[in-house]
Structure 1
Amino acid sequence: MSHNLELAQKHAWNLARTLMTTVILFRSDNEYGVLPADEIEDAEVEALYEYDPHTGSRSVH
């Protein structure tokens, strides 16, 4: 988890390209984190951005 959104975004994009799967950048309380997209449904977090290694990033809202 990170308190810095810009740093979390860089790590999310890097993780998506490394794993070659879509990941979701989320906020929980005052921290940011990343989960694979298929695992986010069970978590009680606010999804912010989706990072797809094939098409890039997009805002979830």
Structure 2
Amino acid sequence: MSQNLNLAQENAFNLARTLMVPVVLFQVDEAFGVMVSSEYDGDEDTIVHDYDPWEIMSSSD
């Protein structure tokens, strides 16, 4: 797994837990981005993973 993907995953996980809103991790070409899911209007095929804070919190119990 690439270092850039690792960093993006960590940021997405932390952002979802901090803001308590779903966020999406997406990839365009070689770059990764993270943003609030409700604001994402890009291509569904570029989504790497969705992070739902409520799911994250319930799975850590």
Specify if TM > 0.5.
Answer: yes
Give the alignment of 1:49-60 within 5 angstroms: 49-56=49-56
Give the alignment of 1:8-27 within 5 angstroms: 8-27=8-27
More strand per residue: 1
More helix per residue: 2
Structure 1 outlier segments of 4+, above 6 Å:
none
TM superposition score normalised by structure 2: 0.77
Query: Which sections of structure 1, spanning at least 5 residues, go unmatched?
Result: 57-61
Q: How many pairs does the alignment contain?
A: 53
Q: Cα deviations across residues 6-49 of structure 1 (Å, max 9, x unaligned)?
A: 111001000001111000000011010101111112x3470110
The residue that corresponds to 1:37 in the other structure is 37
- Max Rg structure: 2
TM superposition score normalised by structure 1: 0.77
Query: Which sections of structure 2, spanning at least 5 residues, go unmatched?
Result: 57-61
RMSD (Å) for aligned C-alpha atoms: 1.6
